[in-house]
Amino acid sequence: MIFTEEYYILFDIVILLLLAKILEELVARFRQPPILGDLLAGVILGPTVLGIIKVGDNVKSIAWVGIVALIFFAGLETEIKEFKRHSKTGLLVGLGGIITCFTLGLVYGLSLGYDLSSSLFLATMLTPTSVSVTVETLIQLKTLHTRVGQVIVSAAVADDIYALFLFTLTYTVVSRGYFSVSELAHVSLGLVILALISYLMFRYSNLIASLMSRLKTVESLFTFTFIMGLSVATLSSFFRLSPIVGAFLTGLALSSMPGSQTVKDRLSIIMAILTPLFFCYAGVLLNPWEVLPKINLSTTASLIMGILLLGILGKIVGCGLTAKLLNLTWTESLSVGIGMIPRAGVELVIAVTGLTLGVITQEVYFSILILIYVSSLITPSLLKLTMYLKRK
Amino acid sequence: MIFTEEYYILFDIVILLLLAKILEELVARFRQPPILGDLLAGVILGPTVLGIIKVGDNVKSIAWVGIVALIFFAGLETEIKEFKRHSKTGLLVGLGGIITCFTLGLVYGLSLGYDLSSSLFLATMLTPTSVSVTVETLIQLKTLHTRVGQVIVSAAVADDIYALFLFTLTYTVVSRGYFSVSELAHVSLGLVILALISYLMFRYSNLIASLMSRLKTVESLFTFTFIMGLSVATLSSFFRLSPIVGAFLTGLALSSMPGSQTVKDRLSIIMAILTPLFFCYAGVLLNPWEVLPKINLSTTASLIMGILLLGILGKIVGCGLTAKLLNLTWTESLSVGIGMIPRAGVELVIAVTGLTLGVITQEVYFSILILIYVSSLITPSLLKLTMYLKRK
């Protein structure tokens, strides 16, 4: 039977979105973040389980707009003043986790016999913490306003920026296959231009907001600022930086403009429909059956265990010890370390990029997915436990 | 220079959206409906003028979600009591336009010396109305609720169903030389199932709203009702009906549920970003240069004029006179006739089918392209003009 083109397009979108939302609903009953439901929907409908959706081409563009919306929102949510006040401890705690995870990942990759590119990507993938998962967990535990909560949040936000820049660096070096000075200059030019644009947007954000509010098209402030986010995201991918760098910088630059709350409200509507499809898409991309006949299951099992251990212990030790050195108590430091465990969005963006570049294997991608599931699943209960210890 | 996949995806989306919004802003200064800006952006960036965006594959899926959102919104905006009161008129107005255009097309084809198959195809191509351009214009002019608006919407939706039956009939007769009962049975079965689902959604809309509001996911009422709209739209394209039919019926069925205003507010945010990309995509799809070298423009000129006249006057006279006979005023009837002018997707599908079957010539195909450009571009402004006349 031959169907129209729109049938195939709408079918993929509808079936992914429907299952994602049903699973979001289901995981919410177990107090788990919705992102798990989205990922599972992609894994179930993709080649891993049912194979109903094969390549995900029909959701690709929606997925990218969805992830730009999410990261743009995260930028808008970051208050520059608040961020500056809590930043010293947070910056160092975040850096401690990044350095520990990156070093462990690099050494692990090289010790497995991977080449430098693959090892760099593996190391980079282990570094970022998911702000949304962390904040959501802290809110659930009603500990967002404690010292531990404040340190975790600023560390997680700082961590996100470090990881983005680290990813940019790794991505550029790896995508060219060699360490190129001119390539680094190209990226540096991109970074300078992006920094300049961000500064100008920040400097004139009041003017931008007032001009855009006066336009005649519907929802002009929201649509034009979102188009700015999309444009700078596109510009950063023009310089081979990830689109999320541009999206985050635009959000950060416009975070204190008048009407930013209105823009965030509108973005959250876009995110309710479009962003789940990014994580669905990430799930659909996973195809273990393609490599399963070619791999040794026992080495893959040990790879999963290795990445799980490094990913979780790297954050607990790296962030926890830094927190202890900055005069937090042992239990507070343990809470901080555990609060930095969750992985989600950025790791997946890096992993998807790595797959497209061909520098990470399906085994590594699969291990990262396991890390995301496990880290997101264990954090709420572990954090609850350390918070209980602290109160005693 | 080789860019990442996300660069190409985001570039197409950003450049279309940016130009569309700038042109929306520009046409607003001349008191023209924004949709004109969206269509022009697609025509300018597509193969017709600049050729920066070639096939529009990267915006295709966003475009379809955008158009389902628009038509779902139109369904929600329609009050069932109002719709019932005007639907009989609408059904007859749609039929009046179909019969007039089909008859004129058949006579014109035969008078040009075309054989019966070619004349049948030409006649069928002139019949369908593209509801999306008119609905968008009516929403923007805030005249969807008027008698004219309600008659046009029901006529255009009915028109879609009539045209599909007619196309199925013409196609099977021309391509196989006999009348296929099973093809028509498939479409008829689809209509029965859609009617049944719509009735059930209408009957239990309060229950649906109360269940969905109680869910734990963010914006649950909005996301789940929108997914329902997308699902029924997909189902209608499964039966080869336009997704528009299913989207409209779902909106109509849920229009009186509690919280429908909330859903409409959320939808209008989605529509601000996604729907313009549908009309951009429609503009990008047109490629006159493919056909132009194959035809002699001066000998085709009279054919173009003939098809333009029949296509436009056929709807104005056929729908307008039917409306007048059903006791609308002369200006209301003129508005109805003009609102039924736009042609877009379905005509193109019929034209491409006709080309592959060899029953229509490149000249006829080119003329239909011109009809699509002209009808889409003139309708918003003409409709606004008649609405202004009516108010005087």
Residue B392: pLDDT band by 50, 70, 90 thresholds?
A: low
Q: How far is B93 from chain A (nearest CA, A)?
A: 28
What total number of domains does chain A contain?
A: 1
Q: What is the mean pLDDT of residues B347-358?
A: 76
Instruction: Give residue B218's pLDDT.
Output: 83
Q: What is the mean pLDDT of residues B157-174?
A: 79
C-alpha R_g of chain A: 21
Q: What is the mean pLDDT of residues A362-376?
A: 82
- Give the span between the Cα atoms of B242 and B35, in whole angstroms: 21
Residue B179: pLDDT band by 50, 70, 90 thresholds?
A: low
CB spacing of A61 vs B230 below 8 angstroms: no
Residues 6 or more apart in contact with residue B68 via CB below 8 angstroms: A10, B229, B230, B233, B243, B244, B247
CA distances in angstroms from A188 to A172, A184, B254, listed in the order given: 10, 6, 53
Is residue A240 within 8 A of residue A172, CB to CB? The reply is: yes
In the chain, the amino acid numbered B112 is L
- Tell whether B302 lies on the interface with A, counting CB pairs under 8 A: no
Residues 6 or more apart in contact with residue A138 via CB below 8 angstroms: A144, A149, A152, A153, A339, A383
| Interface subset of A 26-45, CB within 8 angstroms of B | 28-29, 34
- Tell whether B167 lies on the interface with A, counting CB pairs under 8 A: no
Which chain A residue shows the shortest CA-CA distance from B15? A231
> Residues of chain A with pLDDT > 90: what percent?
36
Looking at the partner chain, which of A4, A227, A353 has a beta carbon nearest the beta carbon of B240?
A: A4
State the CB neighbour count (10 A cutoff) for residue B292: 13
The single-letter DSSP state of residue A48 is T
In the chain, the amino acid numbered B347 is E
Is residue A205 within 8 A of residue A225, CB to CB? The reply is: no
Does residue B93 form part of some domain?
yes
Does residue B307 form part of some domain?
yes
- Tell whether A279 lies on the interface with B, counting CB pairs under 8 A: no
Does residue B214 form part of some domain?
yes
- Tell whether B25 lies on the interface with A, counting CB pairs under 8 A: yes
- Give the span between the Cα atoms of B215 and A28, in whole angstroms: 9
Does residue B250 form part of some domain?
yes
- Tell whether A139 lies on the interface with B, counting CB pairs under 8 A: no
pLDDT at residue A344 tops 70:
no
Among residues B245, B212, B280, B242, which one has the least CA distance to residue B66? B280
pLDDT digits (tens, 9 = 90+) for A6-65: 888 999 999 999 999 999 999 888 877 677 788 889 989 998 889 898 877 889 999 999
Domain range for A159: 5-391
- Tell whether B240 lies on the interface with A, counting CB pairs under 8 A: yes
Distance of CA A262 to the CA centre of its chain: 24
Does residue B145 form part of some domain?
yes
The CATH number given to whatever domain includes residue A16 is 1.20.1530.20
Q: Which residues of A touch B227 (CB under 8 A)?
A: 14, 17-18, 21
Among residues A68, A60, A57, which one has the least CA distance to residue A243? A68
Q: What is the mean pLDDT of residues A217-233?
A: 93
pLDDT at residue B42 tops 50:
yes
- Give the span between the Cα atoms of A137 and A335, in whole angstroms: 12
Distance of CA B220 to the CA centre of its chain: 29
pTM: 0.82
pLDDT at residue A197 tops 70:
yes
- Tell whether A349 lies on the interface with B, counting CB pairs under 8 A: no
- Tell whether B1 lies on the interface with A, counting CB pairs under 8 A: no
Looking at the partner chain, which of B4, B218, B224 has a beta carbon nearest the beta carbon of A237?
A: B4
- Give the span between the Cα atoms of A357 and A364, in whole angstroms: 14
- Give the span between the Cα atoms of B86 and B178, in whole angstroms: 37
Does residue B327 form part of some domain?
yes
Instruction: Give residue A358's pLDDT.
Output: 81
Instruction: Give residue B206's pLDDT.
Output: 93
Q: What is the mean pLDDT of residues B128-135?
A: 81
Q: What is the mean pLDDT of residues A64-84?
A: 79
In the chain, the amino acid numbered A308 is L
Max mean pLDDT among A51-55, A385-389, B109-113 falls in B109-113
Q: Which residues of A touch B268 (CB under 8 A)?
A: 218-219
The single-letter DSSP state of residue A293 is G
Between the two ends of chain B, the Cα-to-Cα distance in Å is: 59
Does residue B90 form part of some domain?
yes
CB spacing of A14 vs B227 below 8 angstroms: yes
- Give the span between the Cα atoms of B278 and A355, in whole angstroms: 31
| Interface subset of B 248-267, CB within 8 angstroms of A | 266
Q: Which of B1, B8, B10 is the mutation pick for testing A, counting most A CBs within 10 A?
A: B10
Looking at the partner chain, which of A10, A58, A243 has a beta carbon nearest the beta carbon of B233?
A: A10
CB spacing of B268 vs A6 below 8 angstroms: no
- Tell whether A4 lies on the interface with B, counting CB pairs under 8 A: yes
Average pLDDT of every residue of chain B: 87
Residue A83: pLDDT band by 50, 70, 90 thresholds?
A: low
pLDDT at residue A1 tops 60:
no
pLDDT digits (tens, 9 = 90+) for A126-178: 998 876 567 666 766 667 667 787 788 778 767 766 776 787 778 777 776 55
Handedness of CA A335, A338, A344, A345 (dihedral sign): positive
Q: How far is A343 from chain B (nearest CA, A)?
A: 21
Q: What is the mean pLDDT of residues A212-225?
A: 90
Q: What is the mean pLDDT of residues A99-119?
A: 92
DSSP string, A125-176: HTS---HHHHHHHHHHTT-TTSHHHHHHHHHHHHHHHHHHHHHHHHHHHHHH
Q: Which residues of B touch A270 (CB under 8 A)?
A: 269-270, 273
CB spacing of B3 vs A269 below 8 angstroms: no
- Tell whether A103 lies on the interface with B, counting CB pairs under 8 A: no
- Tell whether B391 lies on the interface with A, counting CB pairs under 8 A: no
Lookup: tokens for B382: 């003409």
Lookup: tokens for B213: 């509001």
Q: Which residues of A touch B7 (CB under 8 A)?
A: 234, 237-238, 243
Distance of CA B241 to the CA centre of its chain: 12
Residues 6 or more apart in contact with residue B201 via CB below 8 angstroms: B208, B228, B250, B253, B254
Is residue B269 within 8 A of residue B14, CB to CB? The reply is: no
Q: Length of chain B in residues, anyone?
A: 392
DSSP string, A208-264: HHHHHHT-SSTTHHHHHHHHHHHHHHHHHHHTTS-HHHHHHHHHHHTTTSTTHHHHH
Looking at the partner chain, which of B14, B226, B266 has a beta carbon nearest the beta carbon of A227?
A: B14
Lookup: tokens for B146: 């008027």
Average pLDDT of every residue of chain A: 84
pLDDT digits (tens, 9 = 90+) for B287-343: 888 777 878 878 888 999 999 999 999 999 999 999 999 988 999 999 999 999 988
Q: Which of A23, A38, A237 is the mutation pick for testing B, counting most B CBs within 10 A?
A: A237
CB spacing of A9 vs B240 below 8 angstroms: no
Higher pLDDT, B98 or A288: B98
Distance of CA A83 to the CA centre of its chain: 19
Higher pLDDT, B12 or A189: B12
Does residue B300 form part of some domain?
yes
Q: Which residues of B touch A187 (CB under 8 A)?
A: none
CB spacing of A272 vs B17 below 8 angstroms: no
- Tell whether A269 lies on the interface with B, counting CB pairs under 8 A: yes
Residue A227: pLDDT band by 50, 70, 90 thresholds?
A: very high
Please state which of the ranges A13-27, A177-191, B206-220, B362-376 shows the lowest mean pLDDT: A177-191
Q: What angle do CA A129, A151, A206 make, to 5 degrees?
A: 85
CA distances in angstroms from A164 to A75, A91, A158, A378, listed in the order given: 13, 14, 10, 25
HSE at residue A61, side-chain half, CA atoms within 13 A, is: 22
The single-letter DSSP state of residue A321 is H
Q: What is the mean pLDDT of residues A74-91?
A: 74
Among residues B387, B314, B392, B338, which one has the least CA distance to residue B140? B387
Q: Which of B29, B65, B132, B232 is the mutation pick for testing A, counting most A CBs within 10 A?
A: B65
Residue A295: pLDDT band by 50, 70, 90 thresholds?
A: low
Max mean pLDDT among B102-106, B134-138, B237-241, B279-283 falls in B102-106
pLDDT at residue B131 tops 80:
no
Lookup: tokens for A167: 């990813």
Instruction: Give residue B1's pLDDT.
Output: 45
> From its phi and psi, is residue B327 left (phi > 0), alpha (psi between -120 and 50) or beta?
left
CB spacing of A28 vs B217 below 8 angstroms: yes
